[in-house]
Amino acid sequence: MPRYIFVTGGVVSSLGKGVSAASLGALLQSRGYSVHVRKFDPYLNIDPGTMSPLQHGEVYVTNDGFETDLDLGYYERFLGIKLSRNDSCSGGRIYWEVLNAERRGDYLGATVQMIPHVSNKIKEHIALPTDTDFVICEIGGTVGDIEQKIFLESIRQFANDVGRRNVLFAHLALAPYLEQSGELKTKPTQMSVRRLLENGIQADMLFVRSPRMLTSEERAKIGMFCNLPAKNVITSMNVDNIYKIPIVYDEQDVFAIMAEHFGLPNANGDMSKLKKIEHHLNADLPTCTIGVVGKYFDVADAYKSLNEALFHASVQNNVHLKIKKIDAEHFTPEDCADVDGILIPGGFGTRGVDGKIAAATYARENNIPFMGICLGMQVAVIEFMRNVVGDKNANSTEFAKNCTPVIDIMADCDKENMGGTLRLGAYPCEIKPGTLAEKIWGSTSISERHRHRYEVNIKYKDELEKAGMIISGISPDGKLPEIIEIPSHPFFIAGQFHPEFQSSPFSGHPMFNAFIAAAKRK
């Protein structure tokens, strides 16, 4: 049976539970243990798929095509593991499963209640089999949320079920610094741990989000009021890059605390991969400026995986990265005057599309390294069809009904009601030999993750290629264009998929690595 670590949070949201959970996993991996991670979100949506990036941040997609919370991206990137639909579970999904079970008669006419029926369903998801030494479960939300209570009750029960020494409770809280008085206030942390205790859970380890390292006196005070040893009070200090967090935790002997709790031998870990990133951040290197032409900049996490993938590629290319956010709704060519590369990310809806098309024009005409992702590929095709092929009516049927449908809805969708499902998850792609795509991936067969409904219309392949834009990647059945490029351009490539979902901080992703290399050359 694996051992379990539950990560909870209090006081405020966005304290970094996902990064902390991933960092604990990284410390365990550095000592040779295998790790799996799961996320439990108390909100009532079935999954994040229909949630606005302006409110929730990005929707992350797993290999098996499940739309999940962005924290699964942290887990996969930090730990190099592949997660699935079993590893993202919302309150809505739990209640949906319970109510469907009731309708099927699974409860044999019993009165369905929060305990035991809902709590048992949550415990079933926690205990889904893995072949790992540890399972880390992040519980979303903050202690005190109405929606979260049943999840806290479930993990309390779970600890009793499997044995208290097989479960460690890690809690994140906030210690704000008041500039007027020059004091770090520990009371919010104390109250958060007390609220957790009201739910029957005693924290074994406490991570205190703070602008500076806690003093020994502050740790002793927090430990006394929160009923745990001072050494188990860890500073979760603000850092300039999330990949420094496991190093900060390691320097505070976090693994030793886990080893003591679980009865493991204490050991030093190999943190060299993470320290390489830390060295990169401190090195004196040239800077590449990448213009990202998007429309979800009001929420920092809306392009989280994209930003991370660009950073990973900058590490691989020994340059520092500057991301220039360019609002697609108000795009002007002057926005790109100081950039070394232009990237157009994915998105839904008509807002900002004209600006994205104009950005693709600017990159093509001025030989600026260009990379398009999902909608970014589609607008590049529309732009080329209009301005090079000469069909001014070229468009996507997502944006216009009466047009040359160079972008069209998937054939198996209900065109009348715009229904059907998105193309989600990993799909194979066959790459044409001798192309830039083959040079980038080093293969003629790849697999990348998708999240979209519209496709480049294969009917216009000959027109595009005759004018100089080739389809260098296509689905194995030859029906769905996956990669386009312009061979006469220094670097112009776009994919229908989302390569950012498979980028690693330790190796980057081939497409991003090549894009940043082209920007560096410029």
Radius of gyration of the chain (CA): 25
What is the rounded distance in angstroms from the CA atom of residue 48 to the CA atom of residue 41?
10
What is the rounded distance in angstroms from the CA atom of residue 126 to the CA atom of residue 111?
24
Domains annotated for the chain, with CATH where assigned, are 3-277 (3.40.50.300), 284-521 (3.40.50.880)
| Strand 320-327 with 287-294, pairing | parallel
Residue 415 confidence (pLDDT): 45
CB neighbours (10 Å) of residue 347? 24
Residue 333 confidence (pLDDT): 95
> Given pLDDT bands bounded at 50, 70 and 90, which one contains residue 349?
confident
Residue 13 confidence (pLDDT): 85
* In contact, 168 and 258? CB cutoff 8 Å: yes
Residue 411 confidence (pLDDT): 57
40-50 confidence digits (pLDDT tens) = 999 999 888 77
> Given pLDDT bands bounded at 50, 70 and 90, which one contains residue 66?
very high
Which structure tokens are listed for 308? 């991370």
The yes-or-no verdict on residue 188 having pLDDT over 50 is yes
| Average pLDDT over every residue of 441-465 | 96
Order across the sheet with 134-139: list the strands. Answer: 88-90, 35-41, 134-139, 3-9, 167-174, 205-210, 233-237
Give 307-333 as a 3 state SS string: HHHHHHHHHHCCCEEEEEEEEHHHCCH
* Phi and psi, residue 49, nearest 5°: -55, -35
3-41 confidence digits (pLDDT tens) = 999 999 999 888 899 999 999 999 999 999 999 999 999
Residue 417 confidence (pLDDT): 43
Residue in the structure block whose two tokens are 């998007």: 294
Average pLDDT, rounded, for the chain = 94
Catalytic residue among 89, 312, 500, 509: 500
Contacts of range 358-361, beta carbons closer than 8 Å, 24 or more positions apart: 358/331, 358/333, 359/291, 359/293, 359/326, 359/328, 359/331, 360/384, 361/387
| 498 is annotated as an active-site residue | yes
Q: Name which of 25-34, 53-62, 366-375 the model is least confident about.
A: 53-62
For helices 187-198 and 216-226, give the axis angle rounded to 10 degrees. 30
* Phi and psi, residue 339, nearest 5°: -100, 155
The yes-or-no verdict on residue 418 having pLDDT over 60 is no
Residue 47 confidence (pLDDT): 85
For 493, the enclosing helix (H) or strand (E) is: strand 492-495
pTM equals 0.93
| 218 is annotated as an active-site residue | no
| 500 is annotated as an active-site residue | yes
Q: Name which of 98-102, 349-353, 364-368, 410-414 the model is least confident about.
A: 410-414
| Average pLDDT over every residue of 275-290 | 95
Catalytic residue among 153, 374, 452, 482: 374
Which residue type is seen at 152? Answer: L
* In contact, 359 and 331? CB cutoff 8 Å: yes
> Given pLDDT bands bounded at 50, 70 and 90, which one contains residue 54?
low
Q: Which residues contact 495 (CB under 8 A, 6 or more apart)?
A: 372, 373, 374, 377, 448, 473, 482, 483, 511
What is the rounded distance in angstroms from the CA atom of residue 495 to the CA atom of residue 454?
13
| Average pLDDT over every residue of 150-166 | 97
Q: Name which of 20-24, 176-180, 363-367, 388-392 the model is least confident about.
A: 176-180
Q: Which residues contact 367 (CB under 8 A, 6 or more apart)?
A: 489, 490
Percentage of residues of the chain with pLDDT beyond 70: 97
CB neighbours (10 Å) of residue 254? 21
Instruction: Return the closest-CA partner of residue 503 out of 85, 83, 73.
Output: 73
> Given pLDDT bands bounded at 50, 70 and 90, which one contains residue 328?
very high
Catalytic residue among 125, 312, 452, 498: 498
CB neighbours (10 Å) of residue 10? 24
510-520 confidence digits (pLDDT tens) = 999 999 999 99
Residue 508, beta-bridge partner list: 504
Percentage of residues of the chain with pLDDT beyond 90: 87
The yes-or-no verdict on residue 365 having pLDDT over 90 is yes
Which residue blocks in 385-498 are alpha helix, DSSP H? Answer: 436-441, 461-467
Describe the chain by its helix, strand, coil percentages, rounded to 5. 40, 25, 35
Instruction: Return the closest-CA partner of residue 137 out of 128, 145, 150, 146.
Output: 128
* Phi and psi, residue 127, nearest 5°: -90, 5
| Strand 341-344 with 481-485, pairing | unpaired
